[in-house]
Chain A
């Protein structure tokens, strides 16, 4: 049985079973795959490292076609498509890299049964878990407060028969984990 996050002298600590850690590691990897930028073969590695691409044309920074990726990287100015594209050109690469960094770190933390987060690591872990929830919610078609309540009501693993029912249980598990971490982090602010 998983034990939720709590504040300890050494940091924020939770315990997860091997199967739960494997599940979470897979979810972190899935979101990394969604976010990895398409790299051009002749890309300048220095510009790639700083997350900018001076040669990129605005058209290369069209909004993501996958709705889950679009939710992770929304338009910055919905009233102004050109401004949104310009924002993507300047910022999207960096945001993707930061998210991927946090997700990789979270996946590595799944190596051990005791998850121990420092004050510095905890916000990145929370953001990685949040990105997983955003993607799962998109796949589940969770679009309203009513959807959220319906999905939240599913809590019996023995009754999960469809992929959506299974995904709903996974979503609830990840939500429970994040909520326990947020309560512990809020108390220590």
Chain B
């Protein structure tokens, strides 16, 4: 019986560690999405000012991808879900793997 709390605590700590790891949201270039649409999504969803949204959009266009947000796994998963809803080609990755 006494082992139980220890085991549970250990599992919770491991999960908390996984959830706290920083993740990044990557938007990939594709030849279909309009530059105006991508800028609009960056401004309206993330609340980025016009200059920042334009800069990120141009980075996607010219370099093929851009990291547009960082956060814990839960936040970035929600962002990916929203971006797929908009039709943007979004993926997530551990921050150190970028």
Contacts and interface: CB of A to CB of B under 8 A. Distances in A.
B80 interface: yes
Interface residues of B, number: 24
A175 interface: yes
Interface stretch (A41-49, A138-146, A155-163): A138-146
Contact of B31 (A77, A126, A142): A142
A79 B93 contact: yes
B58 to A, nearest CB: 14
B77 A91 contact: yes
B36 A87 contact: no
Contact of B32 (A76, A134, A189): A134
Interface residues of A, number: 38
Contacts, number: 80
A109 interface: no
Interface stretch (A20-28, A58-66, A178-186): A178-186
Interface string B78-94: 00110011110111110
Contacts of A131: 87
B87 A78 contact: no
A178 B37 CA distance: 8
A147 B80 contact: no
Interface of B: 31-34, 36-37, 39-40, 43-44, 50, 77, 80-81, 84-87, 89-93, 97
3 smallest A-B Cβ distances: which pairs?
A182-B36, A148-B31, A130-B87
Interface of A: 71-79, 87, 90-91, 94-95, 98-99, 123, 126-127, 130-131, 133-134, 137, 142-145, 147-148, 175, 178-179, 182-183, 185-186, 189
